[in-house]
Amino acid sequence: MRGAARRARWPLLALALAGGAPVAGAQPASRAPIPPDSLERAARRLIAAVPFPALVTRGADGAPQARPVQPRLPDSSWTVWLATNPRTRKVAEVTRDPRVVLHYFDPATLGYVTLHGRARVVRDAAEQAAHWDPAWDRFYPDRERGAVLLAVRGERLELVSAAWGIEGDAATWRPPTVMLRRRAPAGAPPPGPAPATSPARSPAAPR
């Protein structure tokens, strides 16, 4: 019985993520565009409900590598900070290719945010202290030698939430998109530190 219920959910999940699939033979309905500032507010709300998004990098062979991470909430400039072991693959991968994706999926609303950006490795002690999350302490007892930060500077976000009426294109399923900043030229180094500070997650936020 449980297996049948699970199988029945997957078509509903696909429709929700796409924002509703078109009916065969029907003309796609036109939707009024949602203002970018409204999309950004909705994206921040959804992100706050997802404590462990997936960070996707490019491996040495060019293939995508994904893993769950525990970042801070995006700051006012859409920079996301997270801690990691300096010997992990992702440190080498973002050093070689800073292009990354953070993917946040909220099962409660069947909505998601995909944040595309560029990451840089932060080893400076003062900059680490300014963006450190106390929730990371138990994983890094020796913060000075056992941790580095990654700063992901968002460039573009995509958002779908059928529960909030934010839906993809009826014909192509392309999600509403916000360009947060211009793309850096190919081969350009990742951006320097952002002036804004990153907010810690509220203890009341869903975890």
Name the superfamily (CATH) of residues 33-179: Electron Transport, Fmn-binding Protein; Chain A (2.30.110.10)
Q: How far apart are CA 184 and CA 190, in angstroms?
A: 8
Residues whose CB falls within 8 Å of the CB of residue 128, separated by 6 or more in sequence, listed in order: 122, 143, 147, 148, 149
**CB 200 within 8 Å of CB 207:** no
Domains of the chain, by residue range, sit at 33-179
In tens digits, the chain (207 residues) has pLDDT values of: 555 544 444 444 544 555 544 444 444 455 678 999 999 999 999 999 999 999 999 999 999 999 999 999 999 999 999 999 999 999 999 999 999 999 999 999 999 999 999 999 999 999 999 999 999 999 999 999 999 999 999 999 999 999 999 999 999 999 999 999 865 554 555 555 444 445 555 433 333
